[in-house]
Structure 1
């Protein structure tokens, strides 16, 4: 949702019953797909599926936090966004480390499972993107929700491409490459969220200082 839809130039902060309802729906979708993908990823031996499952879990927690802090002060919302950015960064680094380990461990995942589950996940994420499309712009808290949903859809397309690559080459390299690309996507999105949240935290401190300044001078 653009600033113009929310009145003037003020950023959208999530203060909308429709937005809350959509977040609850997206949380349910992500939690269900985490359970499906983590089991399928372990059974098929696919690092790309396991990475995507972790993304679903992270998104479920991210959306729950976003829902909880709606309407709170800028400092609280920015702090929550910062925490989400840091957790996303940690997730990306973990996936990157797992990918490096997979290079040396070898093994070929099951392409059929990757393709079927990847299609299920893509359908779930496209539904989430459709639900949140009107609310893609806003403060760091709202923006982090959109970035996570967008990343999921991109990641699922990549998993399906990896499944085709594994099936065509009979090697695990396509799976490892996609897992590495997903890790990079996590890291870059985390940096965006952290930077925006940092700017909002500085703005919140400035606003607090401006409010406390006159009171402090009157007290003296």
Structure 2
């Protein structure tokens, strides 16, 4: 979905689709990291969550930057492309979010999976609404507003993950870095 959504976002001129595509990429890495640390001690899972939180926040900052740039330099995106791709992505992400719902209050590592999946479903709904807004207004503003909101979700979600992971490491009196061990 990352590749399909990124291609559609670039071709259709939608910053919201590009933001959602980057979120898909981040989630793919998130799931791979989770599988890698699933059986490890809480400290290692928390360190992995720190890295994932920082990456999610960085992607959010990038989306914010391209959105601000597009305010002055962007064009009106293709609403039809946004809508079709947004609905397909929503179906994929809603299924994943439903499967992961029970992990929403687990350790930082598991919670990060839930937060990413929740953000994806919310982002897809927002992209579909932005597509309707672009179609109805003929302007890029609905797309840019949704991209800005998605950037905020990424920054906020990343911050939440980092804070919980740091609390878990502090509670175990464990260093944040491997080098300190």
Which of 21, 29, 36 is residue 53 of structure 1 equivalent to?
21
Instruction: Give the CA deviation at 1:75.
Output: 1.4
Counterpart in the other structure of 1:68 = 36
2: CA distance, partners of 1:165 / 1:64: 35
Structure-to-structure mapping, 1:23-34, within 5 angstroms = 33-34=1-2
Q: Normalized against structure 2, the TM-score is what?
A: 0.94
Q: Which ranges of structure 2 fall in alignment gaps of 5 or more residues?
A: 175-181
2: CA distance, partners of 1:164 / 1:182: 17
- Secondary structure at the counterpart of residue 173 of structure 2: helix
Instruction: Give the CA deviation at 1:133.
Output: 1.7
Q: Say what the alpha-carbon RMSD is for the aligned residues.
A: 1.2
Does structure 1 residue 126 correspond to structure 2 residue 82? no
Which of 143, 146, 161 is residue 193 of structure 1 equivalent to?
161
1: CA distance, partners of 2:99 / 2:83: 24
Counterpart in the other structure of 2:177 = none
Structure-to-structure mapping, 1:1-40, within 5 angstroms = 33-40=1-8
- Secondary structure at the counterpart of residue 171 of structure 1: coil
Counterpart in the other structure of 1:141 = 109
How many pairs does the alignment contain? 175
Deviations 1:157-200 (A, max 9, x none): 00001000100111111100000000011111111101000001
Q: Over alpha carbons, which structure has the higher Rg? A: 1
2: CA distance, partners of 1:136 / 1:177: 27
Does structure 1 residue 167 correspond to structure 2 residue 135? yes
Instruction: Give the CA deviation at 1:203.
Output: 1.8
